[in-house]
Amino acid sequence: MNRKRLIAMGIIMTLSMSTVACGKKEEKTEISKVAVEVENPTTGELTNDTTYIGTVEPQQQVYVTPKVSGTVTAAYFEVGDTVKEGDVLFKIDDEAAQLQMKSAEASYSQAEAGVTAATSGSRDLQNYQTEEQIRQLKEKLSDADDSIDDMEDDLDKLREQKGTASKQVTTTQATVDQLTEALGVQKNALADAQESSDTKTKRIQEIDDKLGTLTDDSEEKTDLQKEKEELTKDVAALTETIKDTTTEITATSSQLAIAKQGLSTAQAALNSIESGKTQLKSGIEQLKDGKDTIQDNLNTAEQTYSITQNEVYPETDATYVAQLQAASVGVDSAKMQLDFYTVKAPISGVVEAANVKKEDMAAAGNPAYIISNKDSMTVTFNVTEKAKNTMNVGDHVTVERNGETFDGTITEIGTMAGQQTKLFQVKATIPGAGDKLPNGVSVKVSATTEKEDGSTLVPFDALYFSGGDAYVYCVVDNKLVRTSVTVGLMDDDHAIIEDGLDADSLVVSNWSSKLRNGADAEIVSLNGESVASPEQEEDAAKEEATEDTPADAAAENEKTDNSASDEEAAE
């Protein structure tokens, strides 16, 4: 519109100057043809891209969690360090596991000694060992009962704490929901005000364009000027409303951030309590399992003692062999448990988070390290259902951060909308970005959401609108014909014409103030190539036909000389 307006002003100024310079000499003005550039509609594809905000994360990321709880005795890596698969990340105090290992080894040695005693005939020694074993097992059974009682008391206390923490989370969540709803209302109000402002601003521009074509003080010009004044006041008022609403949004967003932080803190406290309960329950279950094992061993020892007393030697030998096998399993189990206290890196990569330090407490099931392989990054963003339905796995996306762009490919399209956002999650892989796209940062993601192929296209500058209806000027039999069209998808350069034109239509692509329905037209360019006018072709033919030969030139010179002599004689 600005380009057309500038051209119109230039034409008006040129016409004014010509009138001043030549008005006294020429009483009659000859109406000239409108010089136009025309193009045939083309067939092609038109797309529109939509921009989203996405979050970056590594394509391969591992949360390293210990399988046992205890005090960290050594931690070997920090955030930013590079680790290889199998590197020892940290160690947990394994004194208890070492004792269990020694106990298992001792049980194995004891079982082995029992077999030796059984096969050597040292029954008295075997009886003594069995009685001592029974005594120790009973003591362990009693200790296990005491430990279970203590841990169940601690579990009851955590249940009480959980009730208080849950109430805090509920209260904070309600505050977050209220602020989120208020922020949504404010954003909607801002969008409405902005849309109204844009509409009125556009109307002002249209009035300016119209005023530029009116040269007299007509009633229409006066009405347009009044309308422009009212619209200008409205835009100014809307600008203040937008400013005030933006301030309110900033304040509400700040309050919402504080509320969310409070919710995160309350939820973390609740999670910590839940983690403590889980650890206690796990410990109780382990003690109960251990108690069952102790009871089984006690029963076995008592049965063995009874058999020994009855001197059923074949059965006694078989029992000791079974105990030897069980002890071997106990050693293997103790060794496996001991290995749990040395935590190793499951993959190679970069340490993103290190949640344990020397002398800290490591909890079973809680992430201690986060390791990321950054050879390829994943960007996650949310789209509407309409946009989702236009996307396919393998489609290209563009990711932008700090003025630098990266190419990516859609790898996953969600099939379920979020309960709160009602949006669908889409993931795209960005290879080779490295540290230019750090884990957790927000980026701008551009994806194609509208596409029409095989459609009829015309230049966007060829379109005109009146009362919401679109039209173009076509050249038919050297005259301009205003042609109504149905417009589809548009971008800055082209528009899709759904109805009104065919492939042979000659669509005017340049603007002129002389464009009028029925005006005579002179085509100066077709599809970007210059076209000679009929007058130019006629002049060229005449010039070619009247080109002088040397003999013609001599004759013409002689004729000129004779004419000059005749003029002198006449004088």
Number of neighbours of residue 341 by Cβ within 10 angstroms: 21
DSSP state of 216: S
CA 474, CA 509: separation in Å to the nearest integer? Answer: 9
Six-digit token pair at 278? 């889980």
CA 96, CA 283: separation in Å to the nearest integer? Answer: 14
Tell me how far apart the 2 most distant CA atoms of the chain are, in Å: 173
Q: Are 100 and 336 a contacting pair, CB within 8 Å?
A: no
Q: Who's near 174: CB < 8 A, 6+ residues apart?
A: none
User: What is the chain's length?
Assistant: 571
The burial class, CB within 10 Å (0-12 / 13-18 / 19+), for 37 is buried
Q: What is the pLDDT of residues 522-568, one digit of tens each?
A: 999 999 899 866 666 565 556 555 544 444 444 344 433 443 334 33
How far is C-alpha 203 from the chain's CA centre? 36
The burial class, CB within 10 Å (0-12 / 13-18 / 19+), for 403 is exposed
pLDDT tens digits in sequence order for the chain, 571 residues long: 444 433 333 333 333 333 333 333 344 344 579 999 999 999 988 877 888 999 988 877 788 999 899 999 999 998 888 888 899 999 998 888 889 888 888 888 888 876 776 666 566 677 678 888 888 988 888 988 888 888 888 888 888 888 888 888 899 899 989 989 988 998 998 899 899 999 999 988 988 888 878 767 778 888 888 888 998 998 899 899 999 999 999 999 999 899 889 888 988 988 888 888 888 888 888 888 888 888 888 888 888 777 777 765 567 666 777 778 888 888 898 888 888 889 998 888 888 888 898 888 888 889 989 887 776 788 999 999 988 888 899 999 999 998 899 999 999 999 999 888 889 999 998 887 777 888 889 999 988 877 777 789 999 999 999 888 999 999 999 999 999 999 988 888 889 999 999 999 999 999 988 999 999 999 999 998 998 666 665 655 565 555 444 444 443 444 334 433 343 333 3
CA 180, CA 500: separation in Å to the nearest integer? Answer: 48
- Choose among 512, 541, 543, 538: nearest CA to 525: 512
pTM reported for the whole predicted model: 0.37
The dihedral through the CA atoms of 256, 259, 265, 269 has a sign that is negative
Helix H or strand E segment including 351: strand 349-354
Q: Domains of the chain by range and CATH?
A: 33-65+369-542 (2.40.30.170), 94-340 (1.10.287.620)
Q: Are 91 and 72 a contacting pair, CB within 8 Å?
A: yes
CA 93, CA 361: separation in Å to the nearest integer? Answer: 10
Cα dihedral 291/294/299/303 (nearest 10): 180
Q: Give one DSSP letter per residue of 39-104, joined into a string.
A: E--EEEEEEEEEEEEEEEEEEEEEEE--SS-EEEEEE---TT-EE-TT-EEEEE--HHHHHHHHHH
Phi, psi (degrees; rounded to nearest 5) at 206: -65, -40
